[in-house]
Structure formats: structure tokens, C-alpha cells
Structure 1
Amino acid sequence: MRSEILDLIDLKQEGAYWDFKREWYSIDKKDDLLHDIICMANNLENRDAYIIIGVDEENDYKSVDVNCDENQKNTQMIVDFLKDKKFAGGIRPTVYVESIKIEDCCVDVIVIKNSNYTPFYLMERYQSVEANNIYTRIMDSNTPKVKSADIHHVEYLWKKRFGIVLTPMEKIKLYLCKPEDWIDAPTDWATVRKYHKFFPEFTIEYTLDDTGTAYQYYLFNQTDIEPHWREIRVFYHQTLLSTFEAVSLDGGRYTTPTPTTDGISLESFHNWDVSFKYFIKDTLPYVIKQFYYESDGDEETAAHDRFEECILIFESEHEKESFKNHIADKWNSCKDEFSKDISLPNFPKIKGYKMEEFKKQYYNMQILQRMLFEFRKLDM
């Protein structure tokens, strides 16, 4: 983030997905803040956008410390500000505030996440921001509040929502968000396959033959701890777009892609002292995880919930990295506080495995779950 923002400042000009402000929006400029966020959320670059606060354009783009700005806002304040605005369909831009150090100054960046739910627009007027006007950003200029964007730009934003401008990989991620649109295809002894009812050129399947017998710590809180490893494949026509390792939990009651592994180095840069398994929302593995989960309030739900007790689910890559930094600072001083009353499932002796290592991984994950909960409260 810091490197990218520095590169944008060095350009000494605004652009299609970034804007500079010398100071935070004052209380009488709330409509400007809302208008700028909507324009950035509807940017035509199909990427995250930035409102960079603490850059003086009239003074050779020098940095200005915003920590003393009485109008400074954090992520929760921006989220709350957007929450009561009447957005069409109740769908609001996803934003967060990131602070970075530049030349001994604190510069704030409002990050507006890229989304397929464009165009964002209001159903009810807010001050000078009109209802039903669709705003965007062309080069370094926002659509004026009294106007709507040109028709071909509006068409592009709607095409983005309906997946028309997406690549096959982006399209299938969008389609998998609606499992009800997928139909069971004829299967054989080796695979379970589905295809999209409107776009049957997209298919997804997982194998039924076990691809290994290895154990992982998150298997041991299931009723049936036997490992059943699968492979998930995503196709566009006959082209294999991607494959994912998968696990069928609790004797096949719930199938999911396996989580990714990351960790924190406390003593050295070459070894993880604390490792964890995780998913990040809005990524294809997480979308597939949700796609294959059909809550039945019984055995599948139990297997799903037990699995989620053993992994971390982050809102974004940004949250994951911020949490890792937090853990690196707090682990040694706080882990005991968060380890009270942790109960472990049964870890039977299995030939060829160090069961104490599985216990440690499971134990640490329970601590990390609690620390993530508290970390999110601190960020509010």
C-alpha cells in the first residue's frame, strides 16, 4: 500500500482511480465525501480506488500530517456514514481507512474496494448528491453532482454487474455465488459434477476417489476423523480454469476446498513460530467453500461449523496482513490471556504422526480465533 501510494504521489497528478485531498472533509462537506466515494466505487478501471488525504497539491504535493485534523475519520466512522444512506438495492461500497507514514507525516487513504455490484447510486437524495444519478470518474474528474454519467459509461457499469465484461475466471466466481443457478450433471463413479443452467459452458466438479491419506489438525474435532482428500476442478467449455485441493469432512458430510496456510515469525524470518489456516472472503476458494455448503441444520451444518472453529476467515488480504502484524506484536504478551478454558478434542495415537504437534496447531488456532475477535473490536 505505502509503495503504491508513494508512486501515485510522485506522479504529481490525479487519475482515474486516485484523488488527493490536503485535509479531511469538514462537517459541512459530507456530501462531497459521499460523492467522491460513489465516483471512486464506480471507477472505470475495474480496480480498487484511493482518496489520499494529507497531500497538498498546491505545494508541490508535499505531505501534510492529518493526525491533528479534527475531522479525521477511521474505518468504522466511514462505514457508519455510508450505512444510513439510501443506496439502490441496499448495496453499499466497501471502504476502509489505511494510515501510512510519509516524511514523518501521517497520511490517510480511504480505500474503496473494487466490486461487481456497480453502478452504486442513491435512491434518496442526500444534500447535494442526487437520487438516481449514476456518478463515475473520467481521468481526474468526477461526474458533476447535478448530472449523470454518459450513457456508454453507465452501460459499462451495468455490464460489469451482469458479468459481461469479466474474464471466464471472474465470471465463474460471480456465478458460483448463486448455488441455486447450478444443476447436477450426469456423474460417474469418479466425479460429482454441476453446470450453470444459464451458461452451461461453465462446470464445476470434485473427485470421489481419495487422493491421499494424510491427516490435518482440523480433522480431529469431526465425528468421523478419517481423511478423504478430493480435487475440485473448474471448467470453461473444455478448458480447465483451475484446480483446488479439497477435503470431505466427517465421512463425506461436508466437502470444502482446503484452507491456505500462513504464519508469523517471532524469532527469525525463516520459520513460522505460529502457523494458521485461513480463507479470504471474495476469493475463489472461499466462494467455492460457500457454494458446496447446504445448511441442513444437522450433520452437514455440524461438520461445517466444526471446521470453521479451526480456521480463520478474513474479510480481505488487508485484514489478514494487519492481523499478522498485530499477532507478531501481541502473541508473547497476550497468548496466555486468550488461552483460558480451551478444550481439545480427542487426538488418538496415529502411527507416523506427532500428535503433540496437531494438538499445538489446534490449540493455537483457538487462541487466534479469540485474538481475531478482539482485533476486530479494536479496529471499530
Structure 2
Amino acid sequence: MLSEKQKNEVLKLISYKQEGAYWDFKKQWYEDGKQADLLHDIICMANNLENRDAYIIIGIDEEKDYCVNDLTNSADRKTTQMLVDFLRNKKFMGGIKPHVMVEPLQLENGVIDVIIVKNGYYTPYVLEENYRSVNANNIYTRIMDSNTPKNKTAEISHIEYLWKKRFRLLDTSLERAFFYLKSKEDWLDVEDNSSMIRKYYKYAPEYIIEHCECDDRDGYEYYLFSQMDSRPHWHNIYIRYHQTTLFSTIGIALDGGRYFTNVPWTGFLFEGLNEKNISFKFMVNDTKEMILHEFLCDNESHEALSARGKFEECILIFFSEEEKEDFKKYAADKWIERQKYLEDEQLPYMKLPKSYRQDAFKEEYENAIVLRKMLKEYRKCKNRDFENIS
């Protein structure tokens, strides 16, 4: 399903009443004799120069002031799986194909379909074997509202741009650092007498990640009590390029140091100022924080993996920022039922210094349990909704 953000973006593009560098309009789906046009359009959009997702919006009649051409009864409509199967049979260089999805969108005057061509780094997408009139080895892209003609190839400056994108030469130093962190096996220890734990990226040793104990922090967080050893051990984490700090955050050594990770973000369930607002700890997939979380885990240690599992049972991990915001609405509506989610739940023993309010940590831990259960429930509901639409 299209997210609210995507829906609003598609509606905004339709309102422009013109095509652009990453969107195209079609009155109807491609007929059997137009499959080469479909492939060509997908490749051009995958190689767009805007470095973003692209849209082929089907069901918009340009000749009638961009009004909706209802696709409800169209025999040529395709699903995501049908498009994936269509691309699977085409021979792309390196076997790397564009990632596409088809999402229907119900508008006031009928249904349209949106082909989402996902942004990827493996540009340029190029055929290694002709498909009808789409030529092998030609590099196609899209400039303004026009695709590269099938019998031509893109200009050299545009081809250079697409190769630079593949090799991450268009990324900032910070973006490149986190791309390198995804290849954990390519980071090596720095051998020195420093108290810091330090690693460098072997193919670009100017990139360094390091962490050391934090001298000015000794407080507790509720998720510490999920561990056998709940004592806090805080660290400072730095990602550096040469001598420049690109990114810094707080780290925590859990279970007496058996597992080390970066701290999660803090979110709030209700919008606006609210004395009784409910806070929660979370991470979001594919973000810098989640990449770092994966990098820091010692996957060779059973103790570390066990401690990680207990830690992740106390926080929320979202698939996307959109899911987080949608879930917050769901949980806020259900919060009046909080107590039922705590039936038969037992909290861990919490040993705290006398200066701390144990009831506050207990409440936070209970809230984490409730929200984790609500998130599972929310995802089941979303899956049922998706199956009903399908």
C-alpha cells in the first residue's frame, strides 16, 4: 500500500499537469504489443538523475486535462508479482534488475495504478541482450520529461553521473561511512596503547570508528534490568573521517560488558505537551542508528547475542518512519486498554540506588511490554488489511 507520504506526493504530481524528471503519466496500462515500451520506461526511471524513487502513474489522461481514466475494469492491469516476473526474464548486466512495485490508488473519480521504481545504487541498469526494440548496452535515462530514445544512449555526462552513483562518489563522507559500516568484515582493529577501542575501514583507512568509557554519565535506564548484570556502563562513540568527527552518539555496555550497542532513540506516544505523555525507546530499520546497532554486535558470541535479544525485547524496532508514526496513532487509541496487556507479566528484579524512584522504572518497563505487544497486534491488523485489498 502507498504510504500517506507517497499518496500525497502522487496527488501533488498529478496536480502539476505535466510530466517531470522522475514521474510519467499513462492513460492506460501497456498492451501486449507495448512490452518494450514498459521495459524502456522502467529502465529510464531506474536510471533517473534525481537520485530518488520514481513513479509511472497509470490512469491519468493527459489529453483530457489530466483527469482520471478509471482502471477498475482494465484487462491489462499488472500486479507487483507480474512486473517482477516480467523483469526476471530480461537479461540485465550483472543480473541486477530494477526494483519495482505496483500500488493501486483509489481517487474520487476512479482507481489508478502507480508503478514505483525504487531508488537504487546499482546504476546504470543496462540490458546485456536486446529485448525487441530496447537495445543491449544502451544506457537510458530521463531528462526533464523525456526518456532517452530506444535507438540512442545517454550523454556522457549523464553516464558518468550514474557510475559515480554506483561507486558512492556522490555521497557525503558521512553517508559513505555508514555504507562502509554495512561491511563489518572489512573493519580492522587499530593496535595502540589508547584506552579507546578503535577500528578503521581497510579500503579507506581515513574512516575510523572508536568508543571509550564516558566519565560524566552513570545513570540507569529501564532496559538495563532486562540483563543479568544491570549495572550501567556508558560510552562515547565517534565516527571520524581523518580528524573530523562525522557522527557521535552514546553507547552502552550491557550485561557487564558482554554486549555493546548504541542507545536507542526516545519517542513519545501522544503529540504536543502532555504531563502524562508516554515515552518509548526505539530504532528504525535502515537508519544510521540501526546500521551502527548491527555493526557493534559481536555475532560470534552467544552471550552477546543473548543480551542483544533481551535488549531488543525492551525497545521497539520499526520497519520505517512511516510505520512508527502510524503505530503511534494505533497505540494512542488503544492506550486505555493498557492494563489488559500486562496480565500474567512479571517484571525483573530492579536494584537501584536510593536516590532513584523504582516505581518510575517499573512503569517504563511495563510500557515497553505493552507497546511491544501492541506493535505485534498492529502488524497483524495491517497484514489482514493488505490481504483483503489483494
Match of 2:350 among 348, 359, 363: 348
**Alignment of 1:292 onto 2:296:** yes
Using the TM superposition, give the Cα deviation of residue 241 of structure 1 relative to its aligned residue in structure 2, in angstroms.
Answer: 1.6
**CA distance in 2: counterparts of 1:26 and 1:273, whole angstroms:** 54
CA spacing shift, 1:69–1:252, aligned 2, 3 Å: farther
Contact map agreement 2:140 2:147 (CA 8 A) in 1: yes
Q: Deviations over 1:322-349 (max 9, x none)?
A: 44455567x4699899x59875551425
Within 5 Å, give how 1:127-146 maps onto structure 2. 133-145=138-150
Identical positions, percent: 47
Q: Secondary structure at the match of 1:256?
A: strand
CA spacing shift, 1:53–1:251, aligned 2, 3 Å: farther
1:367 paired residue number: 373
2:24 paired residue number: 19
Match of 1:280 among 281, 284, 287: 284
Q: Deviations over 1:273-322 (max 9, x none)?
A: 66543333332222222222231151122222333333333343344444
Match of 2:258 among 247, 253, 266: 253
Using the TM superposition, give the Cα deviation of residue 38 of structure 1 relative to its aligned residue in structure 2, in angstroms.
Answer: 2.9
2:306 paired residue number: 302
For 2:366, give the aligned amino acid: K
For 2:246, give the aligned amino acid: L
CA spacing shift, 1:81–1:149, aligned 2, 3 Å: same
Q: Secondary structure at the match of 1:156?
A: helix
CA spacing shift, 1:377–1:173, aligned 2, 3 Å: same
**CA distance in 2: counterparts of 1:287 and 1:151, whole angstroms:** 35
Q: Secondary structure at the match of 1:119?
A: coil
**Alignment of 1:56 onto 2:58:** no
Using the TM superposition, give the Cα deviation of residue 367 of structure 1 relative to its aligned residue in structure 2, in angstroms.
Answer: 0.7
**CA distance in 2: counterparts of 1:106 and 1:226, whole angstroms:** 57
Contact map agreement 1:344 1:363 (CA 8 A) in 2: no
Using the TM superposition, give the Cα deviation of residue 102 of structure 1 relative to its aligned residue in structure 2, in angstroms.
Answer: 5.5
**CA distance in 1: counterparts of 2:29 and 2:336, whole angstroms:** 36
Using the TM superposition, give the Cα deviation of residue 191 of structure 1 relative to its aligned residue in structure 2, in angstroms.
Answer: 2.3
**CA distance in 1: counterparts of 2:34 and 2:268, whole angstroms:** 43
Using the TM superposition, give the Cα deviation of residue 15 of structure 1 relative to its aligned residue in structure 2, in angstroms.
Answer: 1.4
Mean alpha-carbon deviation: is it higher for 30-39 or for 252-261?
30-39
CA spacing shift, 1:31–1:214, aligned 2, 3 Å: farther
1:153 paired residue number: 158
Match of 1:357 among 342, 363, 366: 363
**Alignment of 1:312 onto 2:316:** yes
Within 5 Å, give how 1:1-380 maps onto structure 2. 1=5, 2-25=7-30, 32-66=37-71, 69=74, 87-89=92-94, 91-96=96-101, 107-122=112-127, 133-145=138-150, 147-186=152-191, 190-265=195-270, 270-271=273-274, 275-324=279-328, 327=331, 331=334, 339=341, 343-350=345-352, 351-353=356-358, 354-371=360-377, 373-374=379-380, 377-378=383-384, 379=386
Please, what TM-score do these two structures have when normalized by structure 1?
A: 0.81
**CA distance in 1: counterparts of 2:77 and 2:289, whole angstroms:** 36
For 2:61, give the aligned amino acid: D
**CA distance in 1: counterparts of 2:211 and 2:175, whole angstroms:** 20
Using the TM superposition, give the Cα deviation of residue 81 of structure 1 relative to its aligned residue in structure 2, in angstroms.
Answer: 5.9
**CA distance in 1: counterparts of 2:165 and 2:185, whole angstroms:** 21
Mean alpha-carbon deviation: is it higher for 256-265 or for 44-53?
256-265
Using the TM superposition, give the Cα deviation of residue 363 of structure 1 relative to its aligned residue in structure 2, in angstroms.
Answer: 1.2
Contact map agreement 1:99 1:109 (CA 8 A) in 2: yes
Q: Secondary structure at the match of 2:205?
A: coil
**CA distance in 1: counterparts of 2:138 and 2:382, whole angstroms:** 34
**CA distance in 1: counterparts of 2:30 and 2:343, whole angstroms:** 46
RMSD (CA atoms) = 3.7
Q: Deviations over 1:64-91 (max 9, x none)?
A: 4555555556666656765676555554
Using the TM superposition, give the Cα deviation of residue 245 of structure 1 relative to its aligned residue in structure 2, in angstroms.
Answer: 2.4
Contact map agreement 1:274 1:364 (CA 8 A) in 2: no
**CA distance in 1: counterparts of 2:146 and 2:372, whole angstroms:** 48
Contact map agreement 1:41 1:113 (CA 8 A) in 2: yes
CA spacing shift, 1:30–1:333, aligned 2, 3 Å: farther
**CA distance in 2: counterparts of 1:277 and 1:152, whole angstroms:** 45
- Any stretches of 5+ residues in structure 1 without a counterpart? none
Contact map agreement 2:314 2:365 (CA 8 A) in 1: no
